[in-house]
Chain A
């Protein structure tokens, strides 16, 4: 089966600019997650979708981050305006059930300068 697709792989922007990341989960996976992984740290959950509804966004900095999941399939994560501390890898993951674990995409490495 095809894996979790993410784009772009890399992005360099200046602070205060905006950026968007895209994720296409594995077909049939109802649950989708966005994680932020800062260098040297473990992944930190930003937002969780069940189908096209948000079930947990408690760690999402809502003043600058937003996310949506169109029709319960693809998802986009947006940052506007970006700060230097947003430099990280943004990982998308999906699952068909916890017992199967999560499958991660290849991630988007964001550098804010």
Chain B
């Protein structure tokens, strides 16, 4: 079964602190792993895509790592800002479909 888990479900940090969001998947036969941001009641915004052959991907303050052998991916957000408050979802691609975690809801306190 292709399950994706995100821990913790929620976290609150003061502005300026670095964020570390975890994602684990049970089936390592992924095509890629994608991180998304979701604001309340809205759709998903793609943040980073890591191909199965890559170890990490970076975009601005965001860095995502992938370890297929251990079934883990981590999203790092440097120097968090109140505007980073949102739910972050990871999704593992298995052929034609994405399997999502339930997300980590982040609150950055000013």
B is a partner of A = no
Interface set of B (CB-CB < 8 Å, partner A) = none
